[in-house]
Amino acid sequence: MYLILFGAPGVGKGTQAKILSDKFSIPHISTGDILREAAKNGTPMGLEAKKLMNAGQLVPDDIMVEIIRETLAEERCKNGFILDGYPRTTAQAESLNRLFKRLNISDYALICLEANDEEVVKRLTARRACKSCKAIFSLSEIENDIHCPVCGAENSFYQRKDDTEEVIRTRLEVFKSSTKPVKNFYRNENKLLEINGLNSIEDVTDEIIKGLEKTFSSK
């Protein structure tokens, strides 16, 4: 099963990626992770990406899609994958389409987790991270507890800069202007599965699985 996970910041992509990865026994491919891995392994494309990232520049689409190609061609991806973090633009979606054709991948779906801005802001501003182990919690999970549930560190919770309202709203605007048109691209390709990402984790998972069953059984 070949899946692309898509949605605004804070909509729960990471949570659903882990659940679906376990359920279908396919790897979760985060583009951020594979960029760092390629740079660490010293592949030609990885070294080029590392040089650009160290200079604070974006990795061009041609390098990014080649790094993705190298990853998707690995043995662990032979039965499927969950691609998370790419594509972010319609140009990248077109490049990924060409890559899928090279890899003989035709039965895939883009899972779009939907959310309204105010709920995303509410959800993300209520997140806290542990300075010690970097684990992330919602305020409801830690309530008045002063100890981290993961590592036990005392008084270690803080709000990350990425989780302040101003930064979140900026990220959402970027998403809507440059990334959301990707959804229309996949709708035109008949590969789009739209899911309410603000339901409970269990309900979101159930809706995804039902949608995938319907999508792939009709092919």
Domain with residue 118: its CATH number is: 3.40.50.300
160 classed as catalytic:
yes
Q: What is the pTM of this model?
A: 0.82
Does any domain span residue 14? yes
Annotated active-site residue in 36, 122, 171, 180: 171
Residue 209, domain member (yes or no): yes
Q: What is the pLDDT of residue 198?
A: 86
Q: What is the pLDDT of residue 219?
A: 57
Nearest to 208 by CA among 4, 27, 9, 29: 4
Find the catalytic residue in 36, 69, 122, 127: 127
Q: Is residue 159 part of a domain?
A: yes
| 17 within domain boundaries | yes
Instruction: Give yes or no: 123 in active site.
Output: no
Q: What is the pLDDT of residue 218?
A: 65
Residue 127 maps to a domain: yes
Which residue out of 76, 98, 160, 176 is catalytically annotated? 160
Q: Count how many domains the chain has.
A: 1
Q: What is the pLDDT of residue 51?
A: 86
Per the structure, the complete domain to which residue 129 belongs is given by 2-26+79-217
Q: For residue 194, what pLDDT is reported?
A: 95
In a domain, 47, yes or no: no
Query: One of 69, 88, 122, 180 is an active-site residue; which one?
Result: 88
Domain assignment present for residue 38? The answer is no
128 is catalytic: no
- Which residues, given as ranges, of the chain have pLDDT below 50? none
Active site residue 127: yes
Residue 140 forms part of a structural domain: yes
